[in-house]
Structure 1
Amino acid sequence: MATEASSSDSMQAQLQQGGVVGGVLLAILGLLALVTPFITGLALSILLGAALVVGALVHVAAAFSAGSARGVVWQVILGIAYGLVGISILANPLLGLTTLTVLVIAFFAVEGIVQLVWAVSGAGSPLWLGLSGAISLLLAGMLLVGFPATALWAVGVLFGVDLLVTGISMAMHGRTQESATTAEAPAETMG
């Protein structure tokens, strides 16, 4: 029994340590993305293009297992659409990056409008929803005013910020778990 508990504690400590290390690595990648937002954006665009090409192959392969002629046709149509979009993004990653930026602008605009409507209707916490909605609309407006130049940096910066924040939160969560485990261990051995 004692070896099982010891083994479990050791595994938990390794997982917590892995969370801290993983968080630090994500934070470092986030900083690199923030320093090189254009390269990060292009890499994401190329990754999207490659994923769409793989999706095209999956749809074409699925056409062979479609039960009906109509299913075959739809799978082939989807495969062709995925393939054309994926290949066009791979052929011109800057076009893909521009498209991603337009999607980010649209997302921020829709998110801001929805949050402002919720705030006005009194749902949730109106102050925080309204503030979040206003910030989202402000971001959408800033990106739109500077478009197409914002396509050169916006996606990379947003991705970098996300990686940085996620990495820091993972590392802090791992550290908190380590502290909690260390604080509990003496109490368990005394009882």
Structure 2
Amino acid sequence: MSTITPGTEESIETNWRPLAIAGGLIAVLGLIAAALPFGTGIALAYVLGAALLVGGVVHAGHAFTTDGWAGSLWQAALAGVTIVAGLLILANPLIGLASLTLLAIAYLLVDGLTEVVASLRMGSGSGRGWVAASGVLSLVLAGLLWAGFPVDAVWVVGVLVGASLFVTGVSMIAVAYGTRRMERHVPEPGEKSRGV
């Protein structure tokens, strides 16, 4: 969780337009990503493959430059596995897309189970129904994606990334316009508030 540094509120209040424009651009990118889910997923798979390849090379460099370290053999083995995984994904990005889809399914499964268990431990009247409903929805989504795997892999990642970008952009716009409204209602220093 990020903390707001002193003076940040003022800078957002007086410069809300850049935040709103950035939010709008991110929201549009999210819509494009969701509209082109296969292309988005393939692009992300290439990024994942490249990241694994670079990470493997870094591990290999570390393993071969540290003399006498007991863990260098394990580091070299990890480097080899990481490089092979990166090369496989770069050679066939559908493998990366399928892997990312499996990660999304695993996330939804763990999230759903966690929320259902948490709702069972909550007291009545504390929003436990909403938490339980969210958990059940995550479990249903995980089940549907698993049932459609691997065919659904071509669109799931792109739609999820697009939706995430869109929600992030909209929230940035909301923050920008919220601070704009606060700016209009904050009295100037020395200005007296009007009595009712």
Same fold (TM over 0.5): yes
CA distance, structure 2, for counterparts of residue 40 and residue 59 of structure 1: 28
1:94-109 matches, within 5 Å, as: 94-109=94-109
Counterpart in the other structure of 2:6: none
SS at match of 1:70: coil
Counterpart in the other structure of 2:35: 35
Count residues in correspondence: 182
What amino acid is the match of 1:63?
Answer: A
What amino acid is the match of 1:80?
Answer: G
1:163-182 matches, within 5 Å, as: 163-182=165-184
**Deviation per residue, 1:103-131 (Å, 9 max, x gap):** 11111112111211121222664212211
Q: Which ranges in structure 1 are unaligned for 5 or more consecutive residues?
A: 1-7
- 2:49–2:86: 8 Å Cα contact kept in structure 1? yes
Q: Which ranges in structure 2 are unaligned for 5 or more consecutive residues?
A: 1-8
CA distance, structure 2, for counterparts of residue 95 and residue 189 of structure 1: 64
CA distance, structure 2, for counterparts of residue 13 and residue 64 of structure 1: 53
Q: Quick check: which one's helix share is greater? A: 1
Percent identical pairs in the alignment equals 40
Counterpart in the other structure of 1:79: 79
Counterpart in the other structure of 2:145: 143
Instruction: Please say if 1:188 is aligned against 2:185.
Output: no
CA distance, structure 2, for counterparts of residue 168 and residue 115 of structure 1: 25
CA distance, structure 1, for counterparts of residue 120 and residue 185 of structure 2: 46
**Deviation per residue, 1:4-60 (Å, 9 max, x gap):** xxxx9678633x322111111110000001110011011111111111111112212
What amino acid is the match of 2:173?
Answer: A
Instruction: Please say if 1:17 is aligned against 2:29.
Output: no
CA separation of 1:143 and 1:189: change in aligned 2, threshold 3 A: same
- 2:112–2:136: 8 Å Cα contact kept in structure 1? yes
**Moved runs in structure 1, 4+ residues, more than 3 A?**
8-12, 64-68
Displacement of 1:141:
1.1
What amino acid is the match of 1:47?
Answer: V
CA-atom RMSD in angstroms: 2.2
What is the TM-score normalised by the length of structure 2?
0.84
CA distance, structure 2, for counterparts of residue 110 and residue 156 of structure 1: 21
Counterpart in the other structure of 1:126: 128
CA separation of 1:179 and 1:59: change in aligned 2, threshold 3 A: same
- 2:55–2:79: 8 Å Cα contact kept in structure 1? yes
CA distance, structure 1, for counterparts of residue 11 and residue 106 of structure 2: 47
What is the TM-score normalised by the length of structure 1?
0.86
Counterpart in the other structure of 1:57: 57
What amino acid is the match of 1:118?
Answer: A
